[in-house]
């Protein structure tokens, strides 16, 4: 009778462990976890793209500023040279040379204006892209925070349930003989978490195979009873 009571206690322990295992699997496979990982990866990619665009915008900004400065200097030089040309008093040779210089400066200024406009366009494009990426990142961060809140709430609920079952285990374990408990703990990892099962109508609740009359009789002779097929500990009904 005492042995049977120990086996029933062992079955109670098995049920608690199975529930803990189920809760742990649920904890690791929440639907929101997959979505959270995807959202985190998206946010990481957006942050990398934002950093790259910020560098591009910064470089374009510096280049545009430099170009505008050089354009201002060239325009000021053109203005001086034109004043000299129109003031007169130059020899024909010097006037011809100055006209060539003015023509070259006008051509350079025209080319520089095109370059500066292109740089300004590049800066504006980078700024527009940056704002779009930052907006997407902000929306993704909100979604990530939302998922994190759901996950944390579910984890708290699961952890509380696990703690309840662990407390019940603490009450059951002292009721089980040390050797029986050691066998149970040894079998559990190799038996997908199920080391003890009910034997009902000659069917093992662990492997779900039927034991013949001879196999059942032999199993019940063992201490503790063991399934002929899967070698789990059996608790007779």
Residues 179, 181, 186, 192, Cα dihedral to 10°: 150
CA-to-CA distance for 7 and 176, rounded, in angstroms?
Answer: 8
pLDDT at 2: 62
Residue 98: the pLDDT is: 67
30-153 CATH, one of 1.10.287.1700, 2.40.50.140, 1.20.1250.30, 1.10.540.10 = 1.10.287.1700
Question: Which part of the chain is CATH 1.10.287.1700?
Answer: 30-153
Is the Cβ–Cβ distance between 90 and 84 less than 8 Å?
A: yes
Q: What pLDDT does residue 110 have?
A: 79
* Residues 53/143, Cβ–Cβ less than 8 Å: no
pLDDT tens digits, the chain, 237 residues: what are they? 567 789 999 999 999 999 999 999 999 999 999 999 999 999 999 999 999 999 999 998 888 888 888 878 877 877 787 777 777 777 778 767 767 777 787 888 778 887 888 888 888 999 999 999 999 999 999 999 999 999 999 999 999 999 999 999 999 999 999 999 999 999 999 999 999 999 999 999 999 999 999 999 999 999 999 999 999 999 998
Q: What per-residue confidence (pLDDT) applies to 145?
A: 98
* Strand pairing category for 203-204 and 233-236: unpaired
At residue 223, φ and ψ (nearest 5 deg) are: -125, 105
What is the reported pLDDT for 103? Answer: 78
Give the per-residue pLDDT at 107.
84
pTM value is 0.73
Q: How far apart are CA 106 and CA 83, in angstroms?
A: 14
- DSSP secondary structure letters along the chain: -HHHHHHHHHHHHHHHHHHHHHHHHHHH--HHHHHHHHHHHHHHHHHHHHHHHHHHHHHHHHHHHHHHHHHHHHHHHHHHHHHHHHH----HHHHHHHHHHHHHHHHHHHHHHHHHHHHHHHHHHHHHHHHHHHHHHHHHHHHHHHHHHHHHHHHHHHHHHHHHHHHHHHHHGGGS-HHHHHHHHHHGGGGTT--EEEEETTEETTT-PBPPHHHHHHHHHSSS-B-TTT-PEEEE-
């Amino acid at each position: 009778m005492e042995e049977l009571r120990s086996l029933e206690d062992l079955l109670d322990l098995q049920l608690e462990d199975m529930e803990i295992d189920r809760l742990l699997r649920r904890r690791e496979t929440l639907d929101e976890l997959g979505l959270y990982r995807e959202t985190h990866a998206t946010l990481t990619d957006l942050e990398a793209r934002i950093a790259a665009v910020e560098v591009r915008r910064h470089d374009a900004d510096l280049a545009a500023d430099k170009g505008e400065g050089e354009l201002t200097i060239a325009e000021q030089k053109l203005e001086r040279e034109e004043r000299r040309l129109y003031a007169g008093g130059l020899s024909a040779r010097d006037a011809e040379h100055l006209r060539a210089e003015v023509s070259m400066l006008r051509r350079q200024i025209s080319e520089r204006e095109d370059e500066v406009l292109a740089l300004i366009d590049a800066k504006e494009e980078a700024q527009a892209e940056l704002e779009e990426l930052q907006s997407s990142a902000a929306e993704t961060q909100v979604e990530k925070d939302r998922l994190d809140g759901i996950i944390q709430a579910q984890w708290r609920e699961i952890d509380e349930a696990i703690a309840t079952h662990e407390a019940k285990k603490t009450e059951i374990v002292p009721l089980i003989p040390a050797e029986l408990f050691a066998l149970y703990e040894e079998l559990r990892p190799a038996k997908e978490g199920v080391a003890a099962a009910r034997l009902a109508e000659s069917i093992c609740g662990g492997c779900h195979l039927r034991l013949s009359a001879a196999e059942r009789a032999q199993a019940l002779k063992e201490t503790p009873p063991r399934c002929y097929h899967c070698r789990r500990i059996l608790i007779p009904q």
